Amino acid sequence: MTQAQARGRQSQPEGPRRELPKKSRREGLRGIIKEEFGNPERRAAYYLVVPALLVIVLVAFYPIAYSVYLSFQRVLPNQPGEFVGVQNYVSMVADPSFREGFYNTVIFTVVSVSLEFFIGLAIALAINRAFRGRGLVRAAILVPWAFPTVISAAMWRLMFQDQVGIVNYVANTLGIISQPILTDQTLTLIAAILVDVWKTTPFMALLLLAGLQVIPGDVYEAARVDGANAVQRFLLITLPLLKPAILVALLFRTLDAYRVYDLFWVMSDRQLESLSTYVYKAVRVSQLNFPIGNAAAVFVFFSAFAIAIFFIKVLGMKTSTEG
Looking at residues 233 to 262 of the shown chain, list those that interact with another protein (rule: CB under 8 A). Answer: 244-245, 248-249, 255, 258-259, 261-262
Residue 65 Rama label (left phi>0; alpha psi -120 to 50; beta): alpha
Q: How far apart are CA 297 and CA 203, in angstroms?
A: 28
Q: Say whether 184 sits in a helix, a strand or coil.
A: coil
Residue with Cβ nearer another protein (272 or 298): 298
Least distance between another protein and beta carbon 274 (Å): 9
Among 16, 34, 224, 310, binds another protein (CB under 8 A): 16
Among 86, 90, 94, 151, binds another protein (CB under 8 A): 151
Residue 283 binds another protein, judged by CB under 8 A: yes
Among 186, 211, 220, 286, binds another protein (CB under 8 A): 211
Among 88, 109, 200, 294, binds another protein (CB under 8 A): 294
What are the residues whose beta carbons fall under 8 Å from the beta carbon of 137, sequence distance 6 or more? 127
Residue 272 binds another protein, judged by CB under 8 A: no
The residues that bridge with 74 in the sheet, in sequence order, are: 82
- Residues within window 181-210 making contact with another protein, judged by CB under 8 A: 198, 202, 206-207, 209-210
What are the residues whose beta carbons fall under 8 Å from the beta carbon of 101, sequence distance 6 or more? 273, 274, 275, 277, 278, 296
Least distance between another protein and beta carbon 59 (Å): 4
Residue 268 binds another protein, judged by CB under 8 A: no
- Residues within window 20-79 making contact with another protein, judged by CB under 8 A: 20, 32, 35-36, 40-42, 44-46, 48-49, 51-53, 55-57, 59-61, 63-64, 66-67, 70, 75, 77-78
Least distance between another protein and beta carbon 207 (Å): 5
**Dihedral pair phi/psi, residue 266, rounded to 5°:** -85, -45
Chain centre to alpha carbon of residue 164: 33
Q: Which stretch binds another protein (CB under 8 A): 89-97, 183-191, 211-219, 225-233?
A: 211-219
- Residues within window 156-185 making contact with another protein, judged by CB under 8 A: 156-159, 161, 163-164, 166, 169, 173
Q: Which stretch binds another protein (CB under 8 A): 82-90, 91-99, 129-137, 219-227?
A: 129-137
Contact 240, 215 (CB under 8 A): no
- Cβ atoms within 10 Å, residue 314: 8
Residue-wise DSSP of 97-146 = HHHHHHHHHHHHHHHHHHHHHHHHHHHHHHH-S--TTHHHHHHHHHHHHH
- Residues within window 79-108 making contact with another protein, judged by CB under 8 A: none
Residue 130 binds another protein, judged by CB under 8 A: no
State how far the alpha carbon of 74 is from the alpha carbons of 77, 89, 241, 269, 291, in Å.
10, 11, 51, 30, 6
Residue 11 binds another protein, judged by CB under 8 A: yes
Count how many Cα atoms sit within 13 Å of the Cα of residue 193 in the half-sphere of its side chain: 19
